[in-house]
């Protein structure tokens, strides 16, 4: 036994020495990280004065921080850790999600008289299906429900939501969550449209009478179906959201919602205990309070029925709500003042389609189709349209299509965007190579791709064998 322990100890020491030798060897190469410029369009001088900074790691043990003044020589700081490295990640919350909660299936443990809606239809079909056969039944949701049953999920800083079915919430332990759920269900009373297509449900039993399968499908090909979903954004104490109101070529009835179809808001508070001895915020929940003030739920901004909200965000100032909307006449960026809930700006982006936003401190970019639009933000909170241009891939299909969350900077006249490049064989894995695109009011002025020595010979079969970009930033010097 002692010999075995001694052998294991020797192996551990040998492994540690080997890792240190590897680290020392890589450390010798740390200043040899190079970035090679490939100017593919326009004049590289358009990117002069910009600096790209990239953090990359190998198997979460080796770390490089490379600074590259565009057109110059890259410098790199190297780090090695025997422990697996961890990286800070931006914590984001989805705010609120509402779903139409139609339950497909049944619970044999529940008495028939307690079953409602589609669950009861399934249960009745089960009881009527003979062993060794498959029973089918066509049902209309309009005949089973007065309103769409609602399911909720809330994720906001410092709030507490258990993600448990309403029926499973013990009334004495989760009373606040039940109260919130009840009030939201009462607020969003959406009748099942008469135009909604019927569905066919099925239950299959074995010869012994045991259920071996359930199913469902639309009884009418290409029939109408409604899906409730939300878009949400939040501030430090309020959550704003919209719901989908479209079904087929028409709309669901939102007349029973107080204030009708629009932007809704509720207040919330942080229920974390900031006084714990460890110095970190922990969730506490006396009486299982959620932090959600359901009594504050209200409609704060009416929307025309034809307006579909694709996305919404609170801007970096915390005072404006930005919405991407489509209304059949075009795609728009709306800017609402949160204090007064009044429209401050309406910018037309395109004839239609979809758009997504990238917020920076003093500007915002809306990506739409093969194009994007840049809007600057001044000290008074006023947005101004600066330019609309095409993606690099629209100039040459071999050029990159810049990601919505790419790194970027704007100096008042020039916009520079930097994005990581994937390996060329399958284009599924990010590498330490990157591209740069520079724009001004006349459009694309320069596009180049930059090859890092950390991206040599990518191995698409073994992800951990590659240097992986962890963070990429770009800025105009000064």
DSSP sequence for 92-161: ---EEEEEE----S--TTS-GGG--HHHHHHHHHHHHSPTTSEEEEEE-HHHH-SB--EEEEEE-TT---
Residues with Cβ within 8 Å of residue 450, at least 6 apart in sequence = 35, 36, 37, 38, 52, 68, 433, 434, 435, 436
Section 288-292 average pLDDT? 84
Indicate if the pLDDT at residue 288 is higher than 80: no
176 falls in which pLDDT band (50, 70, 90)?
confident
Residue 310 or 273, more confident: 310
Please count the CA atoms within 13 angstroms of the CA of 177 that sit on its side-chain side.
25
pLDDT value at position 285?
56
The more confidently predicted of residues 188 and 208 is 188
Window from 35-44, 45-54, 228-237, 423-432 with minimum mean pLDDT = 423-432
Res 412: pLDDT: 94
Residue 7 banded pLDDT, cuts 50, 70, 90:
very low
172 vs 222: which has the higher pLDDT: 222
Q: Which of 48, 49, 20, 54 is nearest to 34 (CA)?
A: 54
For the chain, what percent of residues have pLDDT higher than 90?
63
Q: How many CA atoms lie within 13 A of 162 on its CB side?
A: 20
Considering the entire predicted model, what is its pTM?
0.86
Q: Look at residue 469 in the predicted model and tell me its pLDDT.
A: 86
Report how far residue 240's alpha carbon sits from residue 299's, in angstroms, rounded to the nearest whole number.
Answer: 9
Q: For residue 1, what pLDDT is reported?
A: 43
Provide the pLDDT for residue 26: 46
pLDDT one-digit tens code per residue, 332-359: 999 999 999 999 999 999 999 999 999 9
What is the mean pLDDT of the segment spanning 117-145?
A: 94
Higher pLDDT, 83 or 283: 83
Task: Find the range with the poorest average confidence among 3-12, 117-126, 207-216, 289-298.
Answer: 3-12
The two tokens of residue 315 are 């801007």
Q: How confident is the model at residue 18 (pLDDT cuts 50, 70, 90)?
A: very low
455: three-class secondary structure by DSSP: helix
403, pLDDT greater than 90: yes
- Collapsing DSSP to helix, strand or coil, 300 comes out as strand
Pick the range with the lowest mean pLDDT from 39-53, 135-149, 258-272, 418-432. Answer: 418-432
CA distance 183 to 264: 14
pLDDT at position 457: 75
């Amino acid at each position: 036994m002692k010999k075995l322990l001694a052998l294991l100890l020797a192996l551990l020491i040998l492994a540690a020495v080997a890792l240190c030798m590897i680290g020392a060897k890589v450390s010798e190469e740390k200043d040899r990280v190079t970035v090679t410029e490939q100017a593919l369009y326009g004049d590289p001088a358009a990117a002069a004065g910009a600096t790209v900074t990239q953090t990359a790691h190998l198997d979460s043990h080796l770390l490089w921080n490379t600074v590259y003044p565009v057109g110059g020589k890259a410098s790199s700081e190297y780090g090695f850790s025997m422990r697996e490295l961890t990286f800070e990640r931006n914590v984001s919350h989805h705010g609120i999600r509402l779903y139409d909660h139609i339950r497909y299936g049944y619970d044999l443990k529940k008495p028939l008289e307690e079953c409602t809606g589609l669950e009861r239809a399934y249960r009745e079909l089960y009881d009527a299906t003979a062993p060794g056969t498959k029973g089918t039944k066509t049902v209309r949701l309009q005949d089973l429900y007065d309103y769409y049953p609602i399911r909720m999920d809330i994720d906001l800083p410092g709030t507490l939501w258990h993600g448990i079915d309403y029926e499973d919430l013990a009334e004495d332990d989760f009373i606040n969550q039940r109260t919130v759920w009840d009030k939201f269900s009462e607020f969003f009373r959406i009748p099942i449209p008469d135009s909604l297509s019927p569905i066919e449900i099925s239950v299959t039993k074995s010869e012994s009478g045991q259920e071996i399968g359930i199913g469902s499908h639309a009884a009418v090909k290409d029939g109408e179906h409604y899906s409730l979903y939300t878009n949400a954004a939040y501030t430090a104490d309020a959550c704003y959201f919209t719901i989908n109101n479209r079904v087929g070529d028409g709309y669901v009835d939102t007349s029973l919602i107080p204030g009708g179809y629009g932007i809704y808001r509720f207040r919330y508070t942080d229920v974390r205990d900031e006084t714990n001895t460890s110095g970190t915020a922990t969730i506490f929940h006396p009486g299982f309070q959620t932090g959600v003030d359901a009594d504050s739920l209200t409609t704060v901004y009416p929307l025309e029925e034809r307006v579909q909200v694709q996305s919404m965000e609170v801007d970096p100032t915390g005072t404006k709500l930005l919405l991407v909307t489509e209304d059949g006449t075009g795609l728009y960026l709306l800017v609402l003042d949160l204090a007064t809930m009044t429209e401050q700006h309406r910018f037309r982006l395109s004839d239609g389609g979809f758009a997504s936003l990238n917020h920076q401190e003093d500007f915002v970019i809306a990506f739409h189709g093969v194009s994007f639009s840049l809007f600057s933000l001044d000290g008074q909170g006023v947005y101004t349209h600066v330019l609309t241009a095409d993606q690099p891939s629209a100039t040459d299909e071999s050029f990159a299509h810049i990601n919505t969350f790419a790194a970027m900077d704007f100096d008042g006249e020039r916009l520079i965007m930097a994005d990581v490049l994937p390996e060329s064989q399958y284009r599924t894995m990010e590498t330490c190579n990157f591209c740069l695109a520079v724009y001004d009011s006349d459009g694309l002025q320069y596009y180049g791709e930059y090859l890092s020595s950390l991206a040599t010979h990518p191995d698409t079969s073994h992800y951990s064998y590659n240097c992986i970009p962890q963070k990429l930033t770009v800025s105009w010097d000064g």
